[in-house]
Amino acid sequence: MNEITSVERRPDGGPGPIRRTALHDTLVSHLRDMIIEGDLSPGTRLHEGQLGEQLGVSRTPLREAIKYLASEGLVELVPSRGAVVKRFSAKDVHDMLTVLQTLEELAGKLACEAASDAGIAEVRALHDEMVGRYKAGDRLQYYKLNQQIHSAIVQLAANVALVDMHAVLQTRLKRIRFIGHEGPEKWAAAVSEHEEMIVALEARDKARLSEVLGRHLMNAWERVRAAV
Amino acid sequence: MNEITSVERRPDGGPGPIRRTALHDTLVSHLRDMIIEGDLSPGTRLHEGQLGEQLGVSRTPLREAIKYLASEGLVELVPSRGAVVKRFSAKDVHDMLTVLQTLEELAGKLACEAASDAGIAEVRALHDEMVGRYKAGDRLQYYKLNQQIHSAIVQLAANVALVDMHAVLQTRLKRIRFIGHEGPEKWAAAVSEHEEMIVALEARDKARLSEVLGRHLMNAWERVRAAV
DNA sequence: CTTTTGTATTCTGTATGCAGCATTTTCTGT
DNA sequence: ACAGAAAATGCTGCATACAGAATACAAAAG
């Protein structure tokens, strides 16, 4: 997780530190991950000197990445005191889920109209794999596929603004969901809702898909409210 | 509009270049305004050296501000080639308005429940002033008050995530709306819709307010589609 | 005359250095 | 011993400096 060079890639395994990804992007996703996974917990000050040394980068590009994350809402800029990891209250989380619910309802409607059959098939494939992970009890992979499915459905809606807004909220919520470990019965309910979603999508049933997505996120709040 | 120092303020008019606002924030809003008002037209490269000199700031804070705006979606970062002002297609604008419509519908519903009487009165006051500007034919002030009213209603919903997402889209659209000058009859229709909005809000009629807001934004698309 | 290649300039990307502010620690007076 | 003030330390904010990449231009070859 340390040393930013670990993320840089070589063209074909040859030697030399050639990087494909721009450093800025690398830093942004690195820091994002650190925040989401809890390496940097809410309220923590982002110490430029220390953090820069840890990642093997000077302060300048690091500061630029921090500003980027500030605009994304993951960190807060305090004048003369640098940046701190933003802390979300229970109401904040509820607010985000409310908006996310509305956005996904919209996405459901649009997706039924705009999606290609191939696109729907891909979501189905993701879903099947997710169910497999569920049966195997692999929570982490389940969680990741879960997020991917929601993002995939939003992308089927073919509305870039919608994708953007959804991505921002999804990212802000990742840290929360990463923590919220629901019990077996709630987990089963979530999987069941997902099954409904896929069926509705394959039938291109706008009303139904929209309804299920909305309900799914309402329930999501019930699942995570204890954790916040 | 030039020289960033013009935005810095002194405590009580005394001499010395003491600034109250952090430079970063100042730069961000400055650049934002330049993009919205067309000083920097879509596709323009943000030349760091030149722009920095023009604003009287070194490249470092300027770059940080640019990264911030990139995350906001106003500019695009091209690796090794700097930043360019993002260009929005007609579909992009339509997409944004679609999402904005959904968000404002939600805001309408929430506002009817959460708003204080005082808050509603403030929106009414803004509206009355806006109507005054309309009758006076003052397009610029009308336009600004129009935006303010929409933002105010969203704020009445008391949902920070909603305010955030709305603000981002509103900002991205400002440039477009700034251009889109509708004819007299369409302008009258827009004012009439606003009148409906306020009435519904004062009656705390969720369904009605939500419907009017949605319709208003549908029509907004009709009004600006010619301009894009 | 067109195309291509080499070179020069310009701009971005990153590092470093310095000044100002905040905080903490220490010193002094009661 | 304790409260307040002053100094010292550490960090942020901004500017400058340097290295590498991209582009533009020019010269030479087809």
Same domain, B132 and B208: yes
**Quick one: how many helices (H) and strands (E) in chain B?**
9, 2
Better-scored residue on pLDDT, B222 or B212 = B212
pLDDT tier, A223 (very low <50, low <70, confident <90, very high otherwise): confident
Structure tokens at B159: 């949902």
How far, in Å, CA of A72 to CA of A67, rounded? 9
Whether CB of B80 is under 7 Å from strand D: the answer is: yes
Same domain, A106 and A170: yes
pLDDT tier, B17 (very low <50, low <70, confident <90, very high otherwise): very low
Same domain, A16 and A115: no
For position A22, what pLDDT does the model report?
84
CB contact under 8 A, B159 and A99: yes
Q: Does B67 touch chain A (CB under 8 A)?
A: yes
What region does A43 belong to: left with phi over 0, alpha with psi -120 to 50, or beta?
Answer: left
Q: What is the DSSP letter of B45?
A: B
A132 contacts A142 by C-beta, under 8 angstroms = no
Same domain, A99 and A62: no
pLDDT tier, B176 (very low <50, low <70, confident <90, very high otherwise): confident
Whether CB of B102 is under 7 Å from strand D: the answer is: no
Q: Does A58 touch chain B (CB under 8 A)?
A: no
Lookup: nucleotide whose C1' is closest to B27 CA: D14
**How are beta strands A75-78 and B75-78 bridged, if at all?**
unpaired
B4 contacts B30 by C-beta, under 8 angstroms = yes
Report which residue type is found at A22. Answer: A
Last residue of a domain, one of A57, A85, A113: A85
Same domain, A197 and A128: yes
For position B22, what pLDDT does the model report?
84
Same domain, A80 and A109: no
Mean pLDDT (chain B, rounded): 90
Same domain, A102 and A79: no
pLDDT tier, A12 (very low <50, low <70, confident <90, very high otherwise): very low
Q: How far is B94 from chain A (nearest CA, A)?
A: 9
For position A132, what pLDDT does the model report?
98
For B76, the enclosing helix (H) or strand (E) is strand B75-78
Number of structural domains in chain B: 2
Q: What is the DSSP letter of A80?
A: T
For position A8, what pLDDT does the model report?
38
Same domain, A153 and A77: no
- pLDDT tens digits, one per residue of A120-142: 999 999 999 999 999 999 999 99
A10 contacts A24 by C-beta, under 8 angstroms = no
Q: Other C-beta atoms within 10 Å of A89: how many?
A: 10
Last residue of a domain, one of B40, B55, B85: B85
**Range of A10's domain?**
4-85
Structure-token match 């307010």, residue found: B209
Q: Which nucleotides of C are covered by protein (CB under 7 A)?
A: 11-17, 21-23
Same domain, B98 and B208: yes
Phi, psi of B12 (to 5 degrees): -150, 30
Burial B174-190 (b: 16+ CB within 10 A, else e): bbbbeebebeeeebeeb
Residue B62 in this model has a pLDDT that exceeds 60: yes
Q: What is the CATH number of the domain that holds B34?
A: 1.10.10.10
Q: How far is A163 from chain B (nearest CA, A)?
A: 10
Q: What is the CATH number of the domain that holds B189?
A: 1.20.120.530
Using CB atoms, pick whichever of B65, B95, B159 lies closest to residue A161: B95
For position A14, what pLDDT does the model report?
34
**To the nearest whole percent, how much of chain A has pLDDT over 90?**
81
CB contact under 8 A, A159 and B64: no
pLDDT tier, A177 (very low <50, low <70, confident <90, very high otherwise): confident
- Nearest residue to A193 (alpha-carbon basis) of A213, A218, A166: A213
Q: What distance, in Å, lies between the first and last C-alpha atoms of chain A?
A: 27
CB contact under 8 A, A68 and B69: no
Residue in B with minimal Cα distance to A159 = B95
Last residue of a domain, one of A35, A59, A85: A85
In a mutational test of the A interface, the residue from B102, B105, B170, B210 whose CB has the highest number of chain A CBs within 10 Å is B102
Residue B4 in this model has a pLDDT that exceeds 60: no
- pLDDT tens digits, one per residue of A155-164: 999 999 999 9
Q: Which nucleotides of D are covered by protein (CB under 7 A)?
A: 11-17, 21-23
Helix ranges (H only) for A59-159 are: 59-72, 90-114, 117-136, 139-156
B49 contacts A51 by C-beta, under 8 angstroms = no
CB contact under 8 A, B67 and A72: no
Same domain, B70 and B94: no
For position A178, what pLDDT does the model report?
73
Same domain, B54 and B149: no
Protein residue ranges contacting nucleic strand C, Cβ under 7 Å: A 22-24, 57-61, 80-81; B 45-50, 59-60, 63, 77, 79-82
Same domain, A21 and A112: no
How far, in Å, CA of B79 to CA of B47, rounded? 14
Which residues of chain A does B82 touch, with a Cβ-Cβ cutoff of 8 Å? Answer: none
Q: Provide the CA A165 to C1' C22 distance, Å, integer.
A: 37
pTM for this predicted structure:
0.91
